[in-house]
């Protein structure tokens, strides 16, 4: 077996890691975690007492992972705050994190929309007028948001129509 890496968390309770639950009759120990991704043979199990990111080889650590937070088009559910909070937790565990906001409206950007209907606009460092959630993302994590972190259906339609007008689709139906 491969050598066991050092713990990525403090060893003592009260130093950033929750104390183990204990009762007068017995104490609970940490259950081993299983990882199917880092073994040489597909489907083989590798047992580790550490979180999978610390136990796996470089293969798992180099893979990009995606988390989708959805809730339809209903506003004020807390999707943006929940996403930013989850990103902050992942970042605190040493992962590299960024967030992308996808908006379903056909406007190219929220700059021309009524703030009473859509809410305030957040302006990124590169001058893009984006959804207010990008401001939440910047406050929760260390990554600076840019125009590339916000997409709207209107931007996608605009790009597709510009390509169609240039002839990029060679007369095919788009």
- Domain with 111 in it: 79-154
Burial class (CB in 10 A: 0-12, 13-18, 19+), 56: buried
Same domain, 42 and 93: no
Rounded Cα distance between 65 and 86, Å, is 13
Q: Let me know if residue 134 belongs to a domain.
A: yes
Assigned domain for 97 exists? yes
Instruction: Specify the DSSP element, H or E, that contains 116.
Output: helix 115-118
In this prediction, residues 48-60 reach a mean pLDDT of 48
Please state which of the ranges 65-74, 87-96, 99-108, 161-170 shows the lowest mean pLDDT: 65-74
pLDDT in the model for residue 71: 83
Q: Which residue has the tokens 């990029």?
A: 168
113 within some domain: yes
Q: What pLDDT is stored for residue 174 in this prediction? A: 85
In a domain, 16, yes or no: no
Whether 54 and 113 map to the same domain: the answer is no
**C-beta separation of 109 from 90 below 8 A:** no
* pTM check: above 0.85: no
**pLDDT tens string 34-43:** 444 454 444 4
Q: Are residues 136 and 86 in the same domain?
A: yes
pLDDT higher than threshold 80 for residue 10: no
- Domains identified in the chain, total number: 2
Tell me how far apart the alpha carbons of residues 104 and 113 are, in angstroms, rounded to a whole number: 14
Host H or E run for residue 87:
helix 79-92
Q: Is 84 within the bounds of a domain? A: yes
3 located within any domain: no
Q: In this structure, is residue 11 part of a structural domain? A: no
In this structure, the answer to whether residues 83 and 136 fall within a common structural domain is: yes
Residue 162 belongs to a domain: no
Q: What is the mean pLDDT of the chain?
A: 75
The per-residue pLDDT for range 61-89, each reduced to its tens digit, is: 567 889 999 887 777 788 999 999 999 99
How sure is the predictor about 33, in pLDDT bands with cuts at 50, 70 and 90?
very low
> Do 113 and 143 fall within a single domain?
yes
Rounded distance, CA 122 to CA 130, Å?
Answer: 5
Determine the 3-state secondary structure of 52 from DSSP: helix
Decide which of 91 and 59 is more confident: 91
Give the tens place of pLDDT for each residue, 118-166.
778 899 999 999 988 999 999 999 999 999 999 989 999 999 999 999 9
CB neighbour class for 41 (10 Å; exposed up to 12, middle 13-18, buried from 19): exposed
Tell me, yes or no, whether 54 and 83 share the same domain: no
């Amino acid at each position: 077996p491969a050598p066991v890496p050092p713990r990525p968390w403090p060893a003592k309770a009260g130093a950033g890691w929750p104390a183990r639950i204990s009762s007068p009759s017995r104490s609970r120990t940490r259950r081993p975690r299983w990882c199917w991704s880092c073994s040489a043979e597909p489907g083989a199990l590798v047992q580790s007492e550490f979180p999978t990111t610390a136990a796996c080889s470089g293969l798992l650590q180099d893979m990009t992972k995606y988390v989708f937070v959805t809730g339809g088009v209903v506003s004020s559910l807390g999707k943006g705050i929940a996403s930013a909070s989850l990103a902050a937790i992942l970042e605190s565990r040493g992962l590299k994190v960024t967030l992308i906001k996808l908006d379903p409206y056909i406007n190219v950007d929220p700059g021309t929309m009524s703030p009473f209907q859509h809410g305030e606009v957040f302006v990124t460092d590169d001058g893009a007028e984006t959804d207010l959630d990008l401001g939440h993302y910047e406050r929760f994590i260390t990554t600076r948001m840019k125009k590339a972190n916000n997409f709207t259906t209107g931007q996608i339609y605009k790009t597709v129509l510009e390509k169609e007008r240039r002839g990029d689709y060679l007369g095919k139906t788009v």
